[in-house]
Every structure is written in C-alpha cells, then in structure tokens.
Amino acid sequence: MLRGGRGLALLGFGSRTLAVPLSSLVTIEHTGKLTQRQESSPGSFAVLDVAGQHTPVYAFTDAFTLFDQKRYPGHFCVVLRVDDSVGQFALTCATVEQLRTESEYIGLQMLPDCMQLPGCPFAGLFMRGEKLVLTADASSLLGYIERQCGQHE
Amino acid sequence: MSEGDDAGQKFPAWLLTGAPGYQLAVGIHEVQEYMVAPPMLDVPLTPRHCQQLILWRDQFVPLFDLRRLHDLNLMRADPAPPVSGVIVLAYQREPGLALEYLALSLYAEPEKILVDDSAVVAWPTDYPRALHGLVRSLFAHDDGVVSVLDLAALASARYLNFLVVNGFTD
C-alpha cells in the first residue's frame, strides 16, 4: 500500500512522471469512483468522496496544463494532503508507483535557477530509466493548480 | 585595423553563433565539450529560451537557445536554420565556488579565434536589449560585432527575472 513513510509516489501522466512525497499521500482510488464536476472548485473536472470529504479532482496534460475533458484521463485517482488547514485534492494518473528513497539512490538534482519560472511547482528532477521525473510537493502543486484556474476564470 | 597593426594583446577564444546573426565569444577554458546531437530532455513549465536539459557526465545541464528570446534582432532568419550542435560551458558564480555548467544551442560550428583587446567597440544602438545584462564587452571581428558573454549571469535567477519582467521570455 502506498501510504505514508519516507520516499516518493511516482505518478505517471502520459509521457510525464511526477514525484510527490509519500507523506502527503492520503489514498489511491480508481477513477470509477469519481462523480460529476464540482461547481465550487474551478478547474476540477470531478469530485471524489473520501471519508465524507468532497475532494476536487484535477488532471494534467503532458504539458502540465489542466486537463478539462469529461473523459477521465488515467485509471487512478491519487488524493494528496496539503496540510490540515488547507485540506486535500486529487490528481488522476495512468500509473502510480512507490519509490523508497532511503534504500535507492535516485540522483535527485534541483531544477536549475535559470529554469524556475515564477509559480513553477517543480523543485527537482531525476532520471528513472529513460524517463525524466519531476518532483513537487502537494502545496506547490495546489498553488500552481489554483493559479491556473484563476487564469481560466 | 590592418593585419600588420598589433596595438592590442591577443587572447584565444571560441566564437559561437548563439542565434542567427548573433555571435558571442567565450574563453578557451570555459568550453567543455561540443556535441552535434545530444539527447535532450524537455521540462514543462520552463522559460521558452531554456526548456530543455541535457544529461552530461551524470548531471543535468540546462540548455539555452538564445534565438527563442522575444527580441526581433534575434529572430531575423525565417525559417529558423537548424541547430548545428550544443556546446557545454563551465562557469563559476563567484571565485572559489565549484564549477557549474550550462549548454548553448549553436547555429554554426564553433570557431577558434584570437581576440584583440584593442578591437573593443561601443554598444550598437540596435543591440538586443534582452542580452544587455549578459555581456561583458563587445569587440569587432570580421565586419561584425562579437559579444563576450558572462555565463554566470546567463544562468542566474536574476537574469531570468529580468527576462520575465521585460517580456523577453515566457
């Protein structure tokens, strides 16, 4: 089960892989559990009921813009906790994988300063096989999503 | 100046074509490796002039394409010529700090030249504004103007901020 502990959860979106801290992961559900778009959360295309809490669900395209289609991309819905006061949100993805960083060297490097546009949620990167993995924490991702939603309103 | 004149001291340098019609010079010691077609990694949500990395000697190196800056002086060629290769350059943020690396897309093969320090010229009025903060000096070479680039400035967050604030990248 991919919950808690040290390490990263690897979320695969098409050709992209996003790594988030395992400690921010609340639960993983199948997208079959999603229900209709929640009007109160701009940019989200569905809602997931987790322990009585309505969690807005978002999805990213390959370019990390918000996916805005009725058909759910991916099979999994990963719920991430920002902190107790802000709450949680969910991302859909095609694959989810656990990476224990205490037992596996990943060669994490920081995203270079010259590539850090204001509001960019990514902090670091590493290679896993032939694929580039981008790291971000839940708070930065939610901030990025909210800014994207604001631009589309 | 005629070839016989030798008023200034001469230093070896590499002449690089960082964009069509834009030549720059870097010190011999700054050049690490020239590669014709290294594998490039796209990074989303990054500035348009620096959207890729190359994996060079087990480290990620940001790849700059100066032609992609929003500045008409650098966009003269249409359609854009193909990139001839990528050059990896070393720099230090400050003396005593470890070497860091960046890569530049080039639009012609690099050429070794001798820079005459008496050939320094004033800023042309039409010099690309996006590049002002990057250039240590300018010198005349083969009927053109060559910019001596400050690599640490190019790789800095401060320069990215300057580009964003002034609309030279997005």
DSSP-assigned letters across all residues of chain A: ---SSSSEEEEEETTEEEEEEGGGEEEEEEGGG-BSPPTTSTT--EEEEETTEEEEEE-B-TTSPBP--SSPPSSEEEEEEEETTTEEEEEEESEEEEE-TTTS----EEPPGGG--TT----EEEEETTEEEEE--HHHHHHHHHHHHHHH-
3-state secondary structure of B148: strand
* CA atoms of A130 and B58, how far apart (whole Å): 13
Size of interface A-B (CB pairs under 8 A): 60
The Cα–Cα gap between B86 and B74 comes to 18
Inter-chain contact B43–A132, Cβ cutoff 8 Å?
yes
Averaged confidence pLDDT in chain B: 89
pLDDT surpassing 60 at residue B160: yes
Closest CB to A112: pick one of B44, B45, B155.
Answer: B155
| Residue B89 with chain A: CB contacts under 8 Å | none
Cα of A79 to nearest chain B Cα, Å: 23
Classify B110 in phi/psi space as left (phi over 0), alpha (psi -120 to 50) or beta.
Answer: beta
Q: What is the mean pLDDT of residues B3-19?
A: 79
Q: Look at residue A148 in the predicted model and tell me its pLDDT.
A: 87
Q: Are β-strands A131-135 and A25-30 bridged in parallel, bridged antiparallel, or unpaired?
A: unpaired
Shortest CB distance from A113 goes to which of B42, B53, B155? B155
Which of A109, A112, A120 minimises the CB distance to B45? A120
Whether A130 and chain B come into contact, CB under 8 Å, resolves to no
Side-chain-side CA neighbours of residue B47 (13 Å): 33
Q: What is the pLDDT of residue B138?
A: 93
Q: Stretch B17-34: mean pLDDT, rounded?
A: 93
Inter-chain residue contact A112 with B62, CB threshold 8 Å: yes
Cβ B54 vs Cβ B40: under 8 Å: yes
Comparing CA positions, the residue from B26, B23, B13, B29 lying closest to residue B115 is B13
pLDDT of residue B6 exceeding 70, the answer is: no
Q: In this complex, do A113 and B160 lie within 8 Å of one another by their Cβ atoms?
A: yes
Q: How confident is the model at residue B21 (pLDDT cuts 50, 70, 90)?
A: confident
Using an 8 Å CB-CB cutoff, list chain A residues near B62.
112, 114-115
pLDDT of residue A15: 85
State residue B63 phi and psi, 5-degree precision. Answer: -110, 120
Binding-site residues on chain B for chain A (CB distance < 8 A)? 41-47, 50-51, 53, 55, 58-60, 62, 64, 102, 154-157, 159-160, 164
Name every chain B residue with its beta carbon within 8 A of the beta carbon of A109. Answer: 59-60
pLDDT in tens, chain A (153 residues): 455 557 999 999 888 999 999 999 999 998 887 886 655 577 777 888 887 788 999 989 888 988 876 666 678 999 999 976 668 999 999 999 999 888 888 999 999 999 999 999 999 999 999 899 999 999 999 999 999 887 655
Prediction ipTM score? 0.87
Nearest Cα to Cα of residue B103 among B42, B33, B161, B44: B33
Closest-CA distance of chain A to residue B54, Å: 11
pLDDT recorded at residue A70: 63
Distance CA B65, CA B62 (A): 10
Looking at the complex, report in whole angstroms how far the Cα of residue B103 sits from the nearest Cα belonging to chain A. Answer: 12
Please name which of B102, B106, B111, B113 lies closest in space to residue B36, comparing C-alpha atoms. Answer: B106
Query: CB distance from A129 to chain B under 8 Å?
Result: no
> Rounded CA gap, A72 and A63, in Å?
17
Between strands B85-91 and A124-128, the pairing is unpaired
B30-88 pLDDT, tens per residue? 999 999 999 999 999 999 999 999 999 999 999 999 988 877 555 555 666 788 999 99
- Picking from A16, A114, A125, the nearest residue to B155 by CB comes out as A114
In this prediction, residue A5 carries a pLDDT of: 58
Tell me the mean pLDDT in the region B143-160.
94
Shortest distance between the Cα of B45 and any Cα of chain A, in A, equals 6
Would you state the pLDDT for residue A37?
63
